[in-house]
């Protein structure tokens, strides 16, 4: 990408700004760095950032993210540095407490000083870019953070990872030491099963999953490998995605997505290869039961044949109230394993230890992955094990497809049950290093020509060459027996796909075949015939609804009424709390009760919508709410009388490729609105020139007045992708405007 030259008036304005003390700290000359960065915006508003160094790219990335959605960037950092309660009051206390339990602020400040020079420069530049945006946009009024610090990037990186991982650690809810009734009344302590939300226990926020597919040259018409990227993150809050394309003169050329607050895209593609992630469940954390029974020193805890001494520290959480900020003092305790999260008795305490979350920098590994030119280099980068979890699906121009069950998984004594608290006094429970990448479950170029992972077991990744369960320690893969319906329908679609064109690949990405009814229709037909002979009254009641479902190809369309009835029946049988793939006990033993549930579901639809035959597209809609921090936060602001678009994406538990989760039936709404699901959708073909198409669920900009606030929602509604321009000639031809950060006048497009 070509960097336009500054016009004299623009250079003068930058010098004035620079003399005003805009720099984030002494390490960065913000005005000079801004001059070196060019941002090209395409017709969808996606930023294509060109800069001489990786650090300057991070500066440009920070500035572009702020232009597009400063509110969310600040919100993610408020959460990460542990100041959420200062903005949200009691609602933010839980996340702030988690942040303090693991000393994220102290450790981030200390570790920032020890970073390698190039990574430190990136942290400096990213903070400088955020601050430069605020200095050049005095009309933007932050809610809390008026000066971003470089160490924030480490705190952000670690807190976001902690959000994914705490609920998978088998640890209880963190509770303050000596929590009295007064403290309990004001502090809503966190739900450990709810990643990346404000840690409430509301079910909408808990739906986090993803689909990822790769297909080999043997299955494609072009003879090129292809990749399907499809994370299912919340559409609101810290877990929503941002899209960008970045290029530096230091070997970085990468396009893809990341969360707001990240200095570079974290998944996508470069000139040679690409990858994506889904959430997995490696055992990367353990709970230890510590015994404090030394009568001579209350801080001593048992270890081996003697004692070790625990450390204590004090901190406060600042909480916004009607009467101003109130400080809640707290005391913390930690052993060599980790911080205490619960006191079980007078002498028994539980501590938690995480692998790699609170050390190192994922930026370093991410850069190495983004700069890799082949599979060997990419695996070398992943072997840093700085990314503690996430499945990886990979494809490249050499025709390789690869799956890795990634994780920074400790080597443990297999004689212990690591899903339960282990004896912290027993030295045998200490970790013995980490399993290297070559010891993790993986699949390379399976003969079937495809692979997938949809938050399921790695042991059924493809039809052939799967990892064998018995070859790995039992503790390594916690979801070893989970084969979700999204994975089952994915395997069916990929197995049947032949001579796949790139257009076919995009259509598969939006496939709405529902696995649950598809595999059960024959059973329903048989049961209906049996009911008609043995339980004619029940058969008469069930028959209109069941016949409606039997006369169906199990594909969701906007005008389909069967899919609404099917989803309502499914929710009655399985519940609506993710992952919702285990039938409720009341319907498990008595087969007839399952069909009574169908009648119940139909009656509920009729009561709410005046008919049990409701078209899917009339009910399931796309509408965006501005400035909310979680999917649940949208509920008071969604309106049936405001514009919306139909969406044929369906809930994942029924088994579907195009996965979207909507709000449940709510008293004040006649429609359901999408809030979680296909949040970044991309397809890549790895030919001599990589072909890439993508979308964000709403658009790249969070400002309701922006033309890019809701422009991509139409694509999602129509199951289409936009072009994701990558090569310099493409970017040039499709640039709408080009500029340097801080400019008041635009540079003419190259």
> What would the pLDDT profile of 529-539 be if each residue is shown by its tens digit?
999 999 999 99
pLDDT at residue 669 greater than cutoff 50: yes
pLDDT of residue 199: 29
Average pLDDT of the residues of the chain: 92
Q: What integer is the mean pLDDT of 90-117?
A: 96
Q: How far apart are CA 42 and CA 65, in angstroms?
A: 15
Dump pLDDT digits (tens) for 79-89.
Answer: 999 999 999 99
Model pLDDT for residues 583-608, shown as the tens digit of each residue: 999 898 888 899 999 999 999 999 99
- pLDDT score for 545: 98
- Check whether 286 has a pLDDT greater than 90: yes
Nearest to 678 by CA among 650, 654, 697, 652: 697
The answer, yes or no, to whether residue 358 has pLDDT greater than 70, is yes
Give residues with Cβ within 8 angstroms of 37, minimum separation 6: 49, 50, 51, 56, 57, 59, 60, 63, 740, 741
Q: Is 209 helix (H, G, I), strand (E, B) or coil?
A: strand
Give the dihedral of Cα atoms 544, 545, 551, 557; nearest 10 deg.
140
Q: Which part of the chain has CATH 2.30.120.10?
A: 285-354
Looking at the predicted structure, is the pLDDT value of residue 14 above 50? no
Provide Rg for the chain, Cα atoms: 26
Distance CA 79, CA 315 (A): 17
Classify strands 672-678 and 620-622 as parallel, antiparallel or unpaired: parallel
Predicted pLDDT at 746: 52
Q: What is the pLDDT of residue 168?
A: 87
**Arithmetic mean of pLDDT, 102-115:** 97
Mean pLDDT across 416-434 = 98
Instruction: Write the burial class of residue 607 (CB in 10 Å: 0-12 exposed, 13-18 middle, 19+ buried).
Output: exposed
Question: What is the tens place of the pLDDT at every residue in 368-419?
Answer: 999 999 999 999 999 999 999 999 999 999 999 999 999 999 999 999 999 9
Mean pLDDT of 121-133: 98
pTM for the structure as a whole: 0.93
Over the stretch 431-449, which tens digit does the pLDDT of each residue have?
A: 999 999 999 999 999 999 9
pLDDT at 167: 87
CATH class of this structure's domain 285-354: mainly beta
The dihedral region occupied by 511, where left means phi > 0, alpha psi between -120 and 50, and beta the remainder, is: beta
For the ranges 54-63, 227-236, 579-588, 732-741, the lowest mean pLDDT is seen at 579-588
pLDDT digits (tens, 9 = 90+) for 153-199: 999 999 999 989 998 899 998 998 865 434 444 444 433 333 333 22
DSSP per residue, 463-497: SSSPPPGGGS-TTTBTTTT---HHHHHHHHHHHH-
| Whether the predicted pLDDT of 263 surpasses 70 | yes
Using CB atoms within 10 Å of the CB of residue 680, give its burial: 0 to 12 exposed, 13 to 18 middle, 19+ buried.
buried
- Range of lowest pLDDT (170-179, 192-201, 224-233, 358-367): 192-201
CA 343 → CA 100, 226, 270, 289, 666, distances in Å?
Answer: 17, 51, 49, 10, 39
């Amino acid at each position: 990408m070509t960097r336009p030259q500054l016009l004299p008036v623009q250079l003068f304005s930058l010098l004035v700004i620079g003399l005003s003390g805009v720099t984030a700290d002494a390490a960065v000359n913000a005005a000079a760095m801004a001059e070196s960065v060019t941002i090209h915006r395409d017709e969808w508003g996606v930023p294509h950032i060109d800069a001489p160094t990786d650090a300057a790219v991070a500066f440009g990335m920070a500035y572009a993210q702020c232009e597009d959605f400063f509110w969310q960037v600040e919100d993610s950092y408020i959460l990460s540095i542990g100041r959420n309660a200062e903005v949200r009051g009691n609602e933010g206390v839980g996340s702030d407490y988690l942040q303090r339990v693991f000393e994220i602020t102290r450790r981030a400040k200390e570790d920032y000083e020890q970073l390698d020079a190039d990574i430190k420069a990136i942290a400096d530049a990213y903070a400088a870019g955020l601050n430069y945006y605020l200095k050049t946009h005095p009309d933007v009024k932050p809610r809390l953070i008026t000066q971003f610090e470089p160490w924030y990037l480490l705190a952000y990186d670690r807190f976001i990872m902690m959000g994914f991982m705490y609920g998978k650690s088998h640890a209880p809810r963190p509770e303050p030491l000596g929590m009295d009734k007064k403290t309990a009344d004001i502090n809503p302590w966190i739900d450990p099963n709810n990643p990346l939300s404000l840690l409430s226990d509301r079910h909408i926020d808990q739906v986090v999953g993803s689909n990822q597919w790769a297909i080999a040259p043997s299955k494609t018409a072009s003879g090129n490998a292809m990749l399907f990227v499809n994370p299912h993150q919340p559409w609101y809050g810290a877990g929503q995605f941002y899209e960008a394309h970045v290029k530096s003169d230091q070997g970085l050329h990468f396009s893809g997505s990341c969360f707001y607050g990240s200095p570079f895209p974290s998944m996508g593609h470069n000139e040679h290869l690409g990858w994506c992630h889904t959430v997995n469940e490696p055992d990367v954390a353990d709970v230890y039961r510590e015994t404090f029974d030394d009568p001579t020193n209350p801080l001593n805890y048992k270890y081996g044949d003697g004692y070790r001494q625990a450390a204590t520290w004090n901190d406060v959480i600042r909480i916004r109230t009607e009467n101003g900020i109130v400080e809640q003092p707290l005391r913390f305790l930690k052993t060599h394993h980790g911080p205490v999260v619960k006191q079980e008795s007078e002498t028994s305490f539980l501590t938690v230890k995480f692998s790699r979350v609170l050390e190192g920098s994922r930026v370093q590994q991410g850069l190495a992955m983004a700069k890799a030119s082949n599979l060997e280099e990419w695996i070398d980068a992943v072997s840093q094990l700085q990314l503690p979890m996430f499945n990886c699906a990979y494809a490249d121009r050499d025709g390789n497809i690869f799956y890795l069950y990634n994780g920074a998984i400790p080597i443990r004594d297999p004689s212990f049950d690591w899903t339960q608290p282990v004896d912290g006094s027993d030295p045998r429970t200490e970790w013995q290093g980490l399993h290297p990448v070559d010891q993790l479950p993986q699949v390379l170029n399976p003969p079937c020509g495809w692979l997938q992972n949809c938050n399921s077991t790695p042991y059924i990744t493809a039809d052939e060459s799967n990892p064998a369960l018995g070859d790995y320690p039992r503790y390594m893969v916690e979801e070893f027996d989970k084969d979700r319906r999204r994975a089952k329908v994915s395997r069916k679609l990929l197995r049947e796909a032949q001579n796949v064109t790139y257009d076919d690949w995009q259509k598969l990405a939006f496939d709405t075949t529902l696995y649950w009814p598809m595999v059960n229709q024959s059973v329903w037909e048989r049961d209906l015939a049996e009911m008609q002979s043995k339980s004619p009254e029940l058969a008469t009641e069930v028959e209109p609804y069941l016949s409606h479902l039997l006369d169906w190809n199990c594909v969701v369309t906007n005008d389909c009424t069967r899919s609404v009835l099917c989803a309502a029946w499914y929710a009655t049988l399985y519940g609506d709390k993710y992952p919702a793939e285990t039938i409720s006990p009341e319907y498990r033993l008595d087969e007839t009760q399952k069909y009574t549930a169908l009648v119940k579901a139909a009656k509920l639809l009729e009561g709410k919508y005046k008919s049990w035959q409701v078209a899917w597209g009339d009910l399931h809609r796309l509408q965006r709410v501005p400035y909310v921090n979680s999917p649940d936060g949208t509920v008071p602001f969604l309106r049936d009388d405001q514009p919306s678009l139909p969406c044929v994406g369906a809930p994942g538990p029924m088994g579907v490729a195009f996965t979207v989760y909507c709000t449940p039936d709510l008293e004040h709404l006649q429609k359901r609105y999408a809030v979680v699901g296909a949040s970044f959708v991309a397809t890549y073909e790895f030919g001599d020139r990589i072909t890439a198409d993508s979308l964000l669920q709403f658009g790249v900009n969070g400002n309701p007045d922006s033309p890019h606030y809701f422009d991509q929602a139409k694509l999602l509604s129509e199951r289409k992708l936009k072009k994701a321009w990558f090569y310099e000639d493409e970017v040039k031809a499709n640039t709408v405007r080009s500029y340097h950060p801080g400019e008041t006048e635009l540079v003419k497009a190259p």
